[in-house]
Amino acid sequence: MSIKYEEDLKDIQVVKKGNLEDVIVSVKWVLTATHSDGRVQVSDQVVFLDEPDEKTFSEYSSLTKEEVREWIKKYITDDMIKNRKEGVEAIFEENLIFEQPKSKEAPWENN
């Protein structure tokens, strides 16, 4: 069994805070696992970031993926990633198949 893992950062949300433009307030961390037989599992988590320090603020256009990844390390730790990978490996080993959840309108909104 061979599994290839890829981390990505998506759905970056920004706001204006005081004099600072495009302050990142949240980012979605995504771990995609691809099994050698073609099966794919995706694990993700939205991370809400701390308020920026005006003195060390970096302009949005100058940010790198590595820099933003470093910011979220206290929320998405190496141990957490290891646990997620172990969970994915168990899913692949047990050949578990999960139905993808779908959105549905709340029953009280039909009235």
Domain presence at residue 111: no
- Full strand arrangement of the beta sheet holding 40-48: 3-17, 20-35, 40-48
pLDDT at position 97, please?
64
At 1-43, the pLDDT tens digits run 689 999 999 999 999 998 899 999 999 999 999 999 888 889 9
Domain presence at residue 46: yes
Domain presence at residue 107: no
**Euclidean distance between CA atoms 65 and 86, whole angstroms:** 25
Percent of the chain at pLDDT exceeding 90:
55
Residue of 84 and 100 predicted with greater confidence: 84
Give the CA angle between residues 58, 64, 67 to the nearest 5°: 70
Residue for token pair 């206290």: 74
Mean pLDDT for the chain overall: 88
Domain presence at residue 110: no
Range of the domain at 49: 3-96
Q: What is the pTM of this model?
A: 0.77
Domain tally, the chain: 1
Q: Is the pLDDT of residue 111 over 70?
A: no
Domain presence at residue 58: yes
**Euclidean distance between CA atoms 84 and 75, whole angstroms:** 14
**SS3 of 72, please?**
helix
Domain presence at residue 81: yes
Domain presence at residue 103: no
* Encoded tokens for 87: 């969970």
